Amino acid sequence: MSQGTVKVRFWGVRGSTPTVDRTTWRYGGNTPCIEIETGDGARFVVDCGTGLRILGRRYADTFGEQPIDAFVFITHYHWDHIQGLPFFYPLYSEQNHFHFYSFRSEYLGPDSLKRVMQTQMALPYFPVDLSVLKAKREYTEIAGGDKLEIRGIKISVQWLNHPQGCLGFRFETPSGVVVYATDNEPGVPKLDQNLRDLAAGADIYIHDAQYTPEQLTTNHKGWGHSSWQEGVNVAREAGVRNLVLFHHDPDSSDRMLDAILRNTRQQFANAWAASEGMVMTLDEKQMDVVMRDTRTGQRREGFFRATIVGYTEEGRAFEEETVIRDLSLHGALLYLDNLPRLQSELQVLMEAPVDELHPDGRIPLRGFVIRREHPPGENRHAVGIVFAEEVDPDRVGG
Ligand SMILES: [Zn+2]
Ligand SMILES: [Zn+2]
């Protein structure tokens, strides 16, 4: 990784409670946790939802017996932002060192985060107590308005509008600005301004998009969350380059999130729906996005003719004949002349024997672009897609 590169990895993107439903599998069900890694190896973890467990596993793979040193920022103490802490295995090893940053809660007093961890691991809620966490831990109290500098990264902190308080963070790195502002409800002018100050000119702005604009004004008013529409408003007013919708509602299926992202992109083209395993890389302000490959199960190499209909990066519609060379139950690998947009939908019409089920000799499928590569010696783009679930969750069950 070059000195000027910063990587933002999404380990948990779901709000409120983890989900394991198949209908939420593509975007992912772990609760909030992201990691920001700078070119010189400084590591910032923001929020400790269940996604933190996956990050711990990844650290074990990359560090082995080498010590880990990381800075952990916690926005607030609601379950979905702390749940992963007892399952973050690097905390159990004494060679590791974690610097925690969070605010003093009026309900907990001094050492709020330490108390949270003690309570989380207290009897009878957890089998072992805090003394088993052998890693060196330091706790720093921060509050809205604070400015810090850690390993050359400037960090600004602001209060957001959320029950029992919540902090938003702005990380200014040599390659660009990353802003994390989740668990926030619009409508309080001073705090709305805080958010815009925090987000001003951000290269990556991570926004709480839990509710629909309708829910926000009706049954979920006062719950402390925001919507994709508000994300567009903030992104425009603050001159943001990339808007990332985050903290997805546990009841939002992948299909619903696809629709939310489509609506958002109609108003703000550089929008993304945070998905587990997604990595955004900023290098000299250039951005690259990669999705986790969610194609699981057996893959079959083959030769399946198909017609692909979609939209390019520039938003131009295209239709092209191709051959699917690798197919699994969950997705396929295609080679295309056109470069479709990441996280955009493709219609895949696969050639099939003409029979009663397929009178026109085609199987229609919906796919979502999760990967785009340029293999050496191949002049077309290799495009990885996952198929959309055909099952409508509302129609399942008796
Ligand atoms: Zn939350
Ligand atoms: Zn919360």
Distance 348 CA to ligand 1 centre (A): 36
pLDDT of 1 reads 65
Point out the ligand nearest to the CA of residue 76. 2
Res 8 pLDDT > 50: yes
Distance 76 CA to ligand 2 centre (A): 7
Res 285 pLDDT > 80: no
Distance 128 CA to ligand 1 centre (A): 26
* Cα-based torsion angle of the residue sequence 32, 37, 43, 47 in order, rounded to the nearest 10 degrees: -10
Point out the ligand nearest to the CA of residue 77. 2
Distance 79 CA to ligand 1 centre (A): 8
Distance 295 CA to ligand 2 centre (A): 32
Alpha-helix runs per DSSP H in the chain:
51-63, 79-82, 112-120, 189-199, 213-217, 228-237, 254-267
Distance 183 CA to ligand 2 centre (A): 5
Point out the ligand nearest to the CA of residue 208. 1
Res 304 pLDDT > 90: no
Distance 184 CA to ligand 1 centre (A): 9
Token duo for residue 319: 């239709």
Distance 143 CA to ligand 1 centre (A): 18
Residues within 5 Å of ion ligand 1, judged at the Cβ atom: 15, 80, 183
Among 106, 54, 98, which residue's Cα sits nearest to residue 76? 106
pLDDT of 397 reads 39
Point out the ligand nearest to the CA of residue 166. 2
* Those residues with Cβ within 8 angstroms of residue 362's Cβ, 6 or more apart along the chain or in another chain: 307, 349, 350, 351, 352
Res 392 pLDDT > 80: no
pLDDT in tens, 190-201: 999 999 999 999
What's the rounded mean pLDDT across residues 317-334? 91
What share of the chain has pLDDT > 70, as a percent? Answer: 96
> Alpha-carbon distance 89 to 67, whole Å?
13
Distance 164 CA to ligand 2 centre (A): 8
Point out the ligand nearest to the CA of residue 32. 1
Higher local confidence (pLDDT), 292 or 347: 347
Model confidence at 83, pLDDT cuts 50, 70, 90, reads: very high
Distance 153 CA to ligand 2 centre (A): 26
pLDDT of 375 reads 87
What's the rounded mean pLDDT across residues 99-106? 97
Distance 398 CA to ligand 1 centre (A): 32
Model confidence at 393, pLDDT cuts 50, 70, 90, reads: very low
> Alpha-carbon distance 60 to 63, whole Å?
5
pLDDT in tens, 248-281: 999 999 999 999 999 999 999 999 999 999 999 9
Token duo for residue 316: 């131009």
pLDDT of 12 reads 98
Res 170 pLDDT > 70: yes
Distance 33 CA to ligand 1 centre (A): 10
**Total residue length of the chain:** 398
What's the rounded mean pLDDT across residues 332-339? 94
Point out the ligand nearest to the CA of residue 185. 2
What's the rounded mean pLDDT across residues 145-161? 97
Distance 52 CA to ligand 1 centre (A): 14
Angle ∠(145,112,106) on CA atoms, nearest 5: 70
Phi, psi of 261 (to 5 degrees): -65, -40
